[in-house]
Amino acid sequence: MRVYVINADNLIVAREAPAEPDENEIVIACLDELRAARLTAKRLIALWNGLPGVDRVHKVGDREVLIDRMWSALEALPDPRPARSTKQAEVIGLLRRPEGVTVDEVRAATGWQPHTVRGVFSGALRKKLGLAIVGTKEERGRVYRIAETGV
Protein backbone atom coordinates (compact mmCIF):
# COMPACT_ATOMS: atom_id res chain seq x y z
CA MET A 1 0.00 0.00 0.00
CA ARG A 2 1.15 3.53 -0.67
CA VAL A 3 0.12 6.52 1.42
CA TYR A 4 0.92 10.21 1.47
CA VAL A 5 1.50 12.05 4.72
CA ILE A 6 0.97 15.80 4.60
CA ASN A 7 2.43 17.67 7.55
CA ALA A 8 3.18 21.32 8.23
CA ASP A 9 6.39 21.29 6.20
CA ASN A 10 6.04 18.83 3.35
CA LEU A 11 4.49 15.82 1.70
CA ILE A 12 5.95 12.38 2.42
CA VAL A 13 5.42 9.26 0.31
CA ALA A 14 5.32 6.18 2.56
CA ARG A 15 4.69 2.45 2.23
CA GLU A 16 2.24 2.42 5.12
CA ALA A 17 0.40 4.85 7.33
CA PRO A 18 2.12 5.84 10.57
CA ALA A 19 0.80 3.99 13.61
CA GLU A 20 -0.12 7.24 15.33
CA PRO A 21 -0.02 10.28 13.05
CA ASP A 22 0.58 13.63 14.69
CA GLU A 23 -2.44 15.85 15.16
CA ASN A 24 -1.17 18.16 12.40
CA GLU A 25 -0.59 15.35 9.88
CA ILE A 26 -3.04 14.32 7.22
CA VAL A 27 -2.71 10.74 5.92
CA ILE A 28 -4.09 10.15 2.43
CA ALA A 29 -4.37 6.80 0.65
CA CYS A 30 -6.87 7.58 -2.13
CA LEU A 31 -8.29 10.41 -4.21
CA ASP A 32 -11.47 10.59 -2.10
CA GLU A 33 -9.39 11.17 1.04
CA LEU A 34 -7.48 13.94 -0.73
CA ARG A 35 -10.77 15.57 -1.72
CA ALA A 36 -12.07 15.28 1.87
CA ALA A 37 -8.89 16.64 3.45
CA ARG A 38 -9.18 20.06 5.02
CA LEU A 39 -6.55 21.83 2.94
CA THR A 40 -6.72 25.56 2.50
CA ALA A 41 -6.21 27.08 -0.93
CA LYS A 42 -2.82 28.37 0.20
CA ARG A 43 -1.79 24.88 1.38
CA LEU A 44 -3.00 23.24 -1.85
CA ILE A 45 -0.93 25.70 -3.89
CA ALA A 46 2.14 25.08 -1.73
CA LEU A 47 1.76 21.29 -2.07
CA TRP A 48 1.22 21.51 -5.82
CA ASN A 49 4.19 23.83 -6.35
CA GLY A 50 6.35 21.50 -4.24
CA LEU A 51 5.79 18.55 -6.56
CA PRO A 52 8.57 17.84 -9.07
CA GLY A 53 7.97 18.63 -12.75
CA VAL A 54 4.73 20.58 -12.41
CA ASP A 55 3.92 24.05 -13.73
CA ARG A 56 3.69 26.44 -10.79
CA VAL A 57 0.32 27.99 -9.99
CA HIS A 58 -0.49 31.15 -8.05
CA LYS A 59 -4.19 30.60 -7.43
CA VAL A 60 -6.36 27.53 -7.10
CA GLY A 61 -9.00 28.19 -9.75
CA ASP A 62 -11.22 25.08 -9.86
CA ARG A 63 -10.39 23.19 -6.65
CA GLU A 64 -11.59 19.80 -7.93
CA VAL A 65 -9.47 20.07 -11.10
CA LEU A 66 -6.38 20.98 -9.07
CA ILE A 67 -6.98 18.06 -6.68
CA ASP A 68 -7.40 15.64 -9.60
CA ARG A 69 -4.18 16.93 -11.18
CA MET A 70 -2.41 16.72 -7.82
CA TRP A 71 -3.51 13.09 -7.35
CA SER A 72 -2.17 12.19 -10.79
CA ALA A 73 1.14 13.87 -9.95
CA LEU A 74 1.30 12.09 -6.58
CA GLU A 75 0.72 8.71 -8.20
CA ALA A 76 3.56 9.44 -10.64
CA LEU A 77 6.05 9.94 -7.79
CA PRO A 78 8.55 7.08 -7.35
CA ASP A 79 7.92 4.50 -4.65
CA PRO A 80 9.77 5.03 -1.39
CA ARG A 81 12.87 2.92 -0.95
CA PRO A 82 12.49 -0.06 1.34
CA ALA A 83 14.34 0.06 4.63
CA ARG A 84 17.81 -1.36 4.32
CA SER A 85 18.39 -4.56 6.21
CA THR A 86 21.34 -4.60 8.58
CA LYS A 87 23.59 -7.56 9.25
CA GLN A 88 22.37 -7.64 12.83
CA ALA A 89 18.76 -7.90 11.62
CA GLU A 90 19.82 -10.67 9.25
CA VAL A 91 21.47 -12.58 12.11
CA ILE A 92 18.35 -12.20 14.27
CA GLY A 93 16.29 -13.60 11.38
CA LEU A 94 18.63 -16.60 11.14
CA LEU A 95 18.39 -17.19 14.89
CA ARG A 96 14.58 -17.17 14.73
CA ARG A 97 14.44 -20.00 12.20
CA PRO A 98 13.14 -23.28 13.67
CA GLU A 99 16.34 -25.05 12.63
CA GLY A 100 18.49 -22.35 14.23
CA VAL A 101 21.89 -21.35 12.91
CA THR A 102 25.52 -22.32 13.36
CA VAL A 103 28.46 -19.95 13.64
CA ASP A 104 29.61 -21.06 10.18
CA GLU A 105 26.22 -20.25 8.65
CA VAL A 106 26.30 -16.76 10.16
CA ARG A 107 29.86 -16.35 8.87
CA ALA A 108 28.71 -17.29 5.36
CA ALA A 109 25.79 -14.83 5.51
CA THR A 110 27.72 -11.88 6.96
CA GLY A 111 31.37 -12.38 6.09
CA TRP A 112 32.32 -12.03 9.75
CA GLN A 113 35.03 -13.97 11.58
CA PRO A 114 33.95 -16.63 14.12
CA HIS A 115 34.97 -14.50 17.11
CA THR A 116 32.86 -11.62 15.76
CA VAL A 117 29.80 -13.87 15.43
CA ARG A 118 30.18 -15.10 19.02
CA GLY A 119 30.74 -11.52 20.18
CA VAL A 120 27.54 -10.36 18.49
CA PHE A 121 25.61 -13.23 20.11
CA SER A 122 26.98 -12.37 23.55
CA GLY A 123 27.26 -8.58 23.43
CA ALA A 124 24.83 -7.00 21.00
CA LEU A 125 22.06 -9.57 21.12
CA ARG A 126 22.16 -10.97 24.66
CA LYS A 127 23.39 -8.01 26.68
CA LYS A 128 22.19 -4.99 24.71
CA LEU A 129 18.96 -6.31 23.16
CA GLY A 130 18.15 -8.79 25.94
CA LEU A 131 17.47 -11.70 23.58
CA ALA A 132 17.61 -15.17 25.13
CA ILE A 133 20.00 -17.02 22.83
CA VAL A 134 20.47 -20.70 23.57
CA GLY A 135 23.01 -23.04 22.04
CA THR A 136 22.53 -26.77 21.74
CA LYS A 137 24.89 -29.47 20.52
CA GLU A 138 23.46 -31.17 17.44
CA GLU A 139 24.73 -33.31 14.56
CA ARG A 140 25.81 -30.33 12.54
CA GLY A 141 27.61 -28.74 15.50
CA ARG A 142 26.55 -26.12 18.03
CA VAL A 143 23.26 -24.61 16.89
CA TYR A 144 21.99 -21.30 18.26
CA ARG A 145 18.39 -20.13 18.49
CA ILE A 146 16.41 -17.36 20.14
CA ALA A 147 14.53 -19.04 22.98
CA GLU A 148 10.79 -18.53 22.96
CA THR A 149 9.78 -16.82 26.18
CA GLY A 150 6.39 -16.65 27.81
CA VAL A 151 3.46 -19.04 27.32
Domain-wise residue ranges, the chain: 3-76, 87-146
pTM: 0.53
| CATH number of 87-146, picked from 1.10.150, 1.10.10, 3.40.50, 2.30.30 | 1.10.10
Q: What average pLDDT does range 6-23 have in this prediction?
A: 80
Q: Average pLDDT of 112-117?
A: 96
C-beta of residue 27 within 8 angstroms of C-beta of residue 17? yes
Q: What is the pLDDT of residue 151?
A: 43
Q: What angle do CA 141, 147, 149 make, to 5 degrees?
A: 170
Euclidean distance between CA atoms 148 and 84, whole angstroms: 26
User: What are the residues whose beta carbons fall under 8 Å from the beta carbon of 102, sequence distance 6 or more?
Assistant: 140, 141, 142, 143, 144
Question: What tens digit of pLDDT does each residue of 31-80 get?
Answer: 999 999 988 899 899 999 988 889 999 998 899 999 999 999 999 888 77
Instruction: Find out whether 55 and 48 touch, Cβ atoms under 8 Å.
Output: no
Q: Rg of the chain's alpha carbons, rounded to an integer?
A: 24
